[in-house]
Amino acid sequence: MDEKINHPSWYTDGQYETIDAIESWKMDYHLGNAVKYLSRAGKKDSALDDLKKARWYVERELKNKKHALQARKIDVDAYVEDKGLQNDVAEALRCVAGAKGNQTVKMLERAHQALTRTISIREIRGEKHEECGTLQ
């Protein structure tokens, strides 16, 4: 199970792990995901599906650059409510969303603690394979 989470074979099949390249190149979300899908094309899922997903992320980035679009401002609490997140998952999300400027390290440490606590509790309950995070 851990290999699927920490170092999946479809990202570690060569000398460089995909996430290391993305971080080294200081890529944003869209381009990092494009690299992810290009790197794993056909190794995890259908190569054609992976290539189409990479193209989707490139198109999204290109659209944003061409039109200089600003991401719509979404309130964190509104997002939590919209997704129906349970309190433990919402706490981690709020910390991740607040990880900016001089608060980055502090907020990411809080997010890590919240996630570690949430994962431990859910594993004890035997929730390893169910969808987590949303209210049913």
- The pLDDT tens digits for 86-127 are 999 999 999 999 888 888 999 999 999 999 999 999 999 887
- Do 88 and 106 share a domain, yes or no? yes
- Do 12 and 56 share a domain, yes or no? yes
Say if residues 48 and 78 touch (Cβ distance below 8 Å). no
- Do 87 and 61 share a domain, yes or no? no
- How far apart, in whole angstroms, are the C-alpha atoms of residue 89 and residue 62? 32
- Do 61 and 7 share a domain, yes or no? yes
By residue range, what is the domain housing residue 22?
2-67
- How far apart, in whole angstroms, are the C-alpha atoms of residue 48 and residue 5? 23
Question: Count of CB atoms within 10 A of residue 80's CB?
Answer: 18
What pLDDT shows up at residue 64? 83
- Do 7 and 55 share a domain, yes or no? yes
For the chain, the domain total comes to 2
Confidence band of 70 (pLDDT split at 50, 70, 90): low
- Do 23 and 51 share a domain, yes or no? yes
Q: Does residue 52 carry a pLDDT above 90?
A: yes
- Do 7 and 58 share a domain, yes or no? yes
- How far apart, in whole angstroms, are the C-alpha atoms of residue 74 and residue 120? 30
The answer to whether residue 84 is domain-embedded is yes
- Do 50 and 98 share a domain, yes or no? no
Cα 117–chain centre separation? 19
What pLDDT shows up at residue 1? 46
- Do 116 and 95 share a domain, yes or no? yes
Confidence band of 69 (pLDDT split at 50, 70, 90): low
What pLDDT shows up at residue 55? 95
More confident residue, 5 or 48: 48
Kindly give, in sequence order, each residue whose CB lies less than 8 Å from that of residue 119, ignoring residues fewer than 6 positions away: none
Pick the last residue of a domain from 43, 67, 91. Answer: 67
